[in-house]
Amino acid sequence: MEYREGQTATNPKTGQKIVYQGGFWVAAGGPESALETGEYRSKLATEMAKKDMGRIESAFDAERSGYALEATADQAARILPNTPTGLFPDARIALGKAVPFLSALPGIPNQEQTANLETTRRLGAMGTLGDVGKLKGPLSEKELAFIQTMQLNPGASREENRRVIETMKWTAKRQTAYGAALQEWTRRLGSPSARNAQGQSFDAWWGGYSARAIPPPGVRPAGGAPARPPAKPAPAKPAAGTRLRYNPATGDFE
């Protein structure tokens, strides 16, 4: 739950009126309470600092995971055109390895195709989208539900695997953008828990920004035309040290 500056409430244990000021709940008036003591504020500040550091570490981790996922997606995309995906992949892999000289026959893959089928099977078994738990910041719950069943599969069609690869690249882009944005938010505003000029928390801002700028594959961006698969391979990842720029007029990172 997000709190507004000046928001009031009642302490359920004491019945005392309290108000949200400067990131803390303090007594609304009268003599100093436990919420106003220096000891309490010091402990609360320490806990908030721990939480902020955890978020910063998660931002770095999101970037690293995103680049790793992008590399996996690129590998799968490179071999897909020469990977004879479809029914009975395990049997065809076994035949391709046991009797490679029969690869001229329909349904029996040659040596390269057999290796590609094995690679696709291995990437799928590893978990196509990696640790889904790390995606709970970059992706919404609805988006997580959309991608969780997706997996590279040598038994599926090329088109089905192409859609999975497209989703992998989108997820990687979300992860790297999330990590870069949270780091820049912290650099500009001083803390991951700080609010921007519009009074938004990072999570509130990211939810709107990511839906507009990086919608899921095939989803219509807000106020735009339906998203389409890229006609060319995705551009290379930005060089190390590349940062988003904060636009104080809009509250966005660009």
pLDDT tens sequence across 52-109: 787 778 778 878 888 888 999 999 999 999 999 988 888 888 888 887 666 666 677 8
Percent of the chain clearing pLDDT 70 (strictly above) = 69
Identify the pLDDT of residue 105.
66
Q: CB-based burial of residue 227 (10 Å sphere; 0-12 exposed, 13-18 middle, 19+ buried)?
A: middle
Identify the pLDDT of residue 58.
78
The b/e string for 132-141 (b: 16+ C-beta within 10 A; e otherwise) is eebbebbbbe
Identify the pLDDT of residue 44.
65
Identify the pLDDT of residue 250.
55
Q: Which residues, 6+ apart, have CB-to-CB distance to 198 below 8 Å?
A: 205, 251
224/170: higher pLDDT = 170
Identify the pLDDT of residue 253.
53
Domain-wise residue ranges, the chain: 37-253
Q: Residue 120: is its pLDDT beyond 80?
A: yes
Q: Residue 254: is its pLDDT beyond 70?
A: no
Report how far apart the first and last C-alpha atoms of the chain are (Å, whole number): 27
Identify the pLDDT of residue 5.
74
The most confident of the ranges 13-17, 235-239, 248-252 is 13-17
Are 135 and 206 in contact, with CB atoms under 8 Å apart? no
116/41: higher pLDDT = 116
Average pLDDT over the chain reads: 76
- Give the span between the Cα atoms of 130 and 62, in whole angstroms: 11
Q: Residue 21: is its pLDDT beyond 80?
A: no
Q: Please report which confidence band the pLDDT of residue 144 belongs to, taking 50, 70 and 90 as the band edges.
A: confident
